[in-house]
Amino acid sequence: MLDIALIGHGAIAAHVAAHCPEGARVGAVICRPGRAAAARAALGDVSAMEAVADLPTRPGLLIDCAGHEGLRAHGPAALQSGIDLLTVSVGALADPELEADLARAVAEGGATLTLASGAIGALDALRAAARGADLEVTYRGRKPPAGWHGSRAEEVLDLDALTGAEVHFSGTAREAARLYPKNANVAAAVALAGAGFDATRAVLIADPEAGGNLHEISARGSFGRFEFRIEGRALPGNPRSSALTALSVLAEIRRRLSGIRI
């Protein structure tokens, strides 16, 4: 049995706990102070605590579903103590200090940090393309206005008054990941798989006509070229987060349970 602990108890965590595959079980959650009752209400019969050191048993896998602050607060401690960590907070690695802390903790604890593919796909092709030369990658993220509430887009646009698509960010994937911690983890995953945080271009768009969370990758290089486009449905609990993100976590749990891996 793979014993899983979660960080966070929001839309992604609740979906993961509710659909945990056979052979794995969610036994514990790390939450913020005073949030134990809310965590149990969202996840069911789990032990709730505030720190990795308080986990009742050592989990086989800790899954961060909490966002950048959750990874920052608990990731290094978990890895340092040898606990494998899977995270959806990929954009947090845009902070070079946190990336270095995580790398140090991985080396010292001998555990692995896995970055979930999240709301995007085609990371395998990007990884391979990056082994060739001259890789150029642009990521475009397009969501309906509700998907940008609570983000920097609100400072740039009047989201509720939009009559057509508007770009509210254009720059590097590193800037996108840092400025949009809840919305640009995909930009970070594309960057880390491919051309890197500073060479990957990101464009973020609010579009009242968007029927879902649209993510597009355009890549070209010595390998050739590809375009990838996915129209994701949002999770019921959070219009910012695509359902595929929670499914990518479930897929990684299944991958770990299987002797034949893809």
Ligand X SMILES: NC(=O)C1=CN([C@@H]2O[C@H](COP(=O)(O)OP(=O)(O)OC[C@H]3O[C@@H](n4cnc5c(N)ncnc54)[C@H](OP(=O)(O)O)[C@@H]3O)[C@@H](O)[C@H]2O)C=CC1
Ligand Y SMILES: O=C([O-])CC(=O)C(=O)O
Q: Which residues are annotated as a binding site for NAD(+)?
A: 119, 185
Let me know: does 100 contact 75? Beta carbons within 8 Å. Answer: no
Q: Given candidates 184, 202, 219, 253, which one binds ligand Y under the rule CB under 6 A? A: 184
Q: Is the dihedral of CA 122, 187, 238, 168 positive or negative?
A: negative
For ligand X, which residue of 3, 69, 136, 252 counts as binding (CB under 6 A)? 69
* The only residue of 31, 46, 129, 219 in contact with ligand X, by rule CB under 6 A: 31
152 binds ligand X (CB under 6 A): no
| Residue 51 contacts residue 77 (beta carbons within 8 Å) | yes
Sheet containing 200-206: which strands, arranged edge to edge? 166-172, 200-206, 136-143, 213-221, 224-232
The reply to whether 15 belongs to the active site is no
Taking the C-alpha atoms of residue 104 and residue 226, their distance in angstroms, rounded to an integer, is 35
The DSSP symbol for 86 reads E
Under rule CB under 6 A, residue 15 binds ligand Y: no
Q: How far apart are the first and last CA of the chain?
A: 21
Q: Which of residues 214-253 bind ligand Y (CB under 6 A)?
A: 232, 240-242, 245
- Nearest residue to ligand X by CB is 10
Strand partners, 216: 140, 229
With beta carbons less than 8 A apart as the criterion, state whether 120 and 141 touch: no
Binding residues: 119, 185
**Furthest-apart CA atoms within the chain: distance in Å:** 53
Q: Mark 103-142 with x for binding to ligand Y (rule: CB under 6 A) and - for no binding.
A: ----------------x-----------------------
Q: How far is the CB of 53 from ligand X (least distance, A)?
A: 14
Residue 206 contact among ligand X, ligand Y, none, beta carbon within 5 to 8 Å by kind: none
Cα 36 → chain centroid = 23
Instruction: Identify whether the C-beta of residue 115 lies closer than 8 Å to the C-beta of residue 89.
Output: no
Nearest residue (CB) to ligand X, 120 versus 129? 120
Return the number of the residue (172 or 242) whose C-beta is nearest ligand Y: 242
Interface positions with ligand X (CB under 6 A): 7-13, 30-32, 35, 38, 65-70, 73, 88-90, 116, 118-119, 181-182, 185-186, 189, 237-238, 241-242, 245
* Catalytic residue list: 215
